[in-house]
C-alpha cells in the first residue's frame, strides 16, 4: 500500500510539473516534454535504492510509469479539440432547450477539426503538401499500420471516425 | 514474489487475448463493448491472484497498475475507430494525391458531426427531441469539462471551446 501512495504521489508530481512547464515553455511537442520529465524522475528514483530494496523501487516505478503512460495517451485530447468533447460542451451550454444541428454546425467546422489536424500531420512528417495536394509519407504509412494492424488481424476493417 | 508483481501484466495479457477473441469471433459486438468485457476479464485475474498467493497487500497497487495499462490498451484499440487523424491518413493512403477540397468532400466537418452525434446518441450520452440535442448522461461531459479546463490552463486561457 505504501508503494501505491509513493507511486501515485510521484505520478501527481510528474503531471503537475508537465502541465506547468507546458504552460510556461509552450512545448512544440508536449509528449517529448513528458518523456524527458519521466526519464528524469526515473533516474532520480534510483536514489530510493539507498533506503529501499530493488524490488520495491522497481514496483514503485511500475506504478508511476503505467499511470504516466495513461496520462500520455490522454494528452492529445488536451492538445487539440476532440469533436465529441466540443459537441458535448456546447450541448450542455445550450441548456434545457437543447442545440439544433445548425448550432452545432457553427462550431464543428472543417478548419477546426480537419484542417488543423492536416497541418499538424504535415509538421510531424506524416503527410506532405505539394501545391494544393496532400500525399501520405512513408512514416505516415508506418504510423497508420501500427494502429490498424490489430483491427485488420481481428477481422475488423472499419476504422477512422 | 514474482507472481505478485507480474499479476497486472498477466491481467493485461488476458485482456488482450479476450479482446482479440471477442472481436474475431463475435462480429456483432462493438469495439467499445469488447473492451469492456476484456477489461473485466483481466481485472478478475488480477483480483483472483491474491487468493492463490495469499498475499493481499499488493492488491490495490496491482489493480491500479492493471487499470492504467488497460486504459493504454483501450486507447490503442479505440484510436483507429474514433481518430480524425487516422481517418485522414486512410483517405490519403487510398490514393497517391488528394487535394484538401477533395479530402473535405470525402471526410469533412459534416461527416464528423453526423458520425459523432450518432455515436453520442447511440451510447445514451445525448438525446434528440424534435431536432434539439440535449445532454442525457453527464459522465463523458465531466471528462470533457476537465480536459477543457486543462486545455485552458496550458494555453493560458486562449482557447475556443
Residue A98 Ramachandran class (φ > 0 left, ψ -120 to 50 alpha, else beta): left
Facing residue for A113 by CB, picked from B92, B109, B148: B109
Which chain B residues have a beta carbon less than 8 Å from that of A96? 134
* Chain B residues 37-76 with a CB less than 8 Å from chain A: 57-58, 60-61, 64-65, 68-69, 71-72, 75-76
In chain A, % of residues over pLDDT 90: 47
* Residue B9 and residue B21 in one domain: yes
Q: Look at A117-126, B36-45, B152-161 and tell me which has the smallest mean pLDDT.
A: B152-161
CB atoms within 10 A of CB A11: 22
Domain ranges of chain A: 2-79, 125-161
Mean pLDDT of A40-45: 92
- The residue that leads in pLDDT, A46 or B69, is B69
For residue A135, what are the CA distances in angstroms to A121, A131, B93? Answer: 11, 11, 8
* Residue B74 and residue B7 in one domain: yes
Spatial separation of the C-alpha atoms in residues B62 and B35, rounded to whole Å:
19
* Residue B88 and residue B53 in one domain: no
Spatial separation of the C-alpha atoms in residues B21 and B29, rounded to whole Å:
11
User: pLDDT tens digits, residue range A88-101?
Assistant: 999 999 988 899 99
- Binned at pLDDT 50, 70 and 90, residue B132 comes out as very high
Please state the ipTM of this predicted complex: 0.84
Asked if the model's pLDDT at residue A27 lies above 90, the reply is: no
> For residue A144, what pLDDT is reported?
92
In chain B, % of residues over pLDDT 70: 96
Nearest CA in chain B to A115: B100
Spatial separation of the C-alpha atoms in residues A25 and A68, rounded to whole Å:
20
> For residue B46, what pLDDT is reported?
94
* Residue B40 and residue B95 in one domain: no
> For residue B4, what pLDDT is reported?
73
* Residue B7 and residue B76 in one domain: yes
Q: How far is B22 from chain A (nearest CA, A)?
A: 9
* Exposure string over A116-127, b if 16+ CB within 10 A, otherwise e: ebbeebeeeebb
For residue B111, what are the CA distances in angstroms to A160, B10, B101? Answer: 11, 40, 14
Asked if the model's pLDDT at residue B161 lies above 60, the reply is: no
User: pLDDT tens digits, residue range B48-103?
Assistant: 988 887 888 889 999 999 999 999 999 999 888 888 889 899 989 988 888 888 88
Mean pLDDT of A136-152: 92
Owning domain of residue B13: 2-80
* Residue B37 and residue B102 in one domain: no
Of A80, A150, A141, A144, residue with least CA distance to A115: A80
State in Å, rounded, how far the first CA of chain B is from the last one: 49
Asked if the model's pLDDT at residue A111 lies above 70, the reply is: yes
* Residue B54 and residue B91 in one domain: no
Asked if the model's pLDDT at residue B160 lies above 60, the reply is: no
Instruction: Write down how long chain B is.
Output: 161
> For residue B28, what pLDDT is reported?
85
> For residue A120, what pLDDT is reported?
85
> For residue B40, what pLDDT is reported?
97
- Binned at pLDDT 50, 70 and 90, residue A161 comes out as low
Facing residue for A92 by CB, picked from B1, B72, B135: B135
Instruction: Write down how long chain A is.
Output: 161
* Residue B105 and residue B140 in one domain: no
> For residue A160, what pLDDT is reported?
60
Q: Look at A27-31, A134-138, B10-14, B145-149 and tell me which has the smallest mean pLDDT.
A: A27-31
* Residue B25 and residue B72 in one domain: yes
Which chain A residues have a beta carbon less than 8 Å from that of B133? 91, 94, 98-101, 104
Spatial separation of the C-alpha atoms in residues A90 and A108, rounded to whole Å:
10
* Residue B96 and residue B50 in one domain: no
> For residue B131, what pLDDT is reported?
87
Amino acid at each position: 500500500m505504501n508503494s501505491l501512495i509513493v507511486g501515485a504521489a510521484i505520478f501527481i508530481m510528474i503531471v503537475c510539473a508537465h502541465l506547468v512547464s507546458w504552460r510556461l515553455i509552450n512545448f512544440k511537442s508536449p509528449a517529448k516534454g513528458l518523456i524527458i520529465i519521466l526519464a528524469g524522475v526515473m533516474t532520480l528514483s534510483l536514489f530510493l535504492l539507498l533506503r529501499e530494496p530493488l524490488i520495491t523501487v522497481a514496483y514503485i516505478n511500475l506504478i508511476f510509469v503505467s499511470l504516466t503512460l495513461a496520462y500520455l495517451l490522454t494528452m492529445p485530447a488536451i492538445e487539440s479539440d476532440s469533436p465529441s468533447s466540443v459537441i458535448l460542451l456546447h450541448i450542455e451550454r445550450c441548456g434545457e432547450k437543447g442545440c439544433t444541428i445548425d448550432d452545432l454546425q457553427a462550431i464543428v467546422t472543417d478548419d477546426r477539426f480537419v484542417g488543423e489536424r492536416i497541418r499538424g500531420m504535415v509538421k510531424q512528417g506524416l503527410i506532405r503538401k505539394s501545391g494544393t495536394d496532400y500525399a501520405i509519407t512513408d512514416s505516415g504509412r508506418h504510423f497508420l499500420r501500427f494502429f490498424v494492424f490489430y483491427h485488420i488481424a481481428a477481422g475488423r476493417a472499419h476504422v477512422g471516425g | 514474489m514474482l507472481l505478485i508483481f507480474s499479476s497486472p501484466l498477466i491481467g493485461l495479457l488476458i485482456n488482450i487475448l479476450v479482446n482479440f477473441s471477442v472481436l474475431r469471433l463475435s462480429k456483432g459486438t462493438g469495439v467499445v463493448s469488447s473492451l469492456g468485457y476484456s477489461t473485466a476479464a483481466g481485472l478478475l485475474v488480477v483480483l483472483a491472484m491474491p487468493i492463490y498467493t495469499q498475499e493481499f497487500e499488493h492488491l490495490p497497487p496491482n489493480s491500479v497498475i492493471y487499470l492504467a495499462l488497460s486504459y493504454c490498451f483501450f486507447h490503442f484499440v479505440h484510436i483507429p475507430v474514433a481518430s480524425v487523424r487516422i481517418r485522414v491518413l486512410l483517405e490519403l493512403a487510398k490514393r497517391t494525391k488528394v487535394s484538401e477540397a477533395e479530402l473535405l468532400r470525402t471526410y469533412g466537418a459534416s461527416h464528423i458531426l453526423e458520425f459523432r452525434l450518432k455515436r453520442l446518441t447511440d451510447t445514451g450520452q445525448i438525446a434528440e427531441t424534435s431536432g434539439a440535442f440535449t445532454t442525457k448522461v453527464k459522465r463523458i461531459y465531466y471528462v470533457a469539462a476537465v480536459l477543457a479546463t486543462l486545455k485552458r490552463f496550458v494555453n493560458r486561457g486562449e482557447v475556443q471551446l
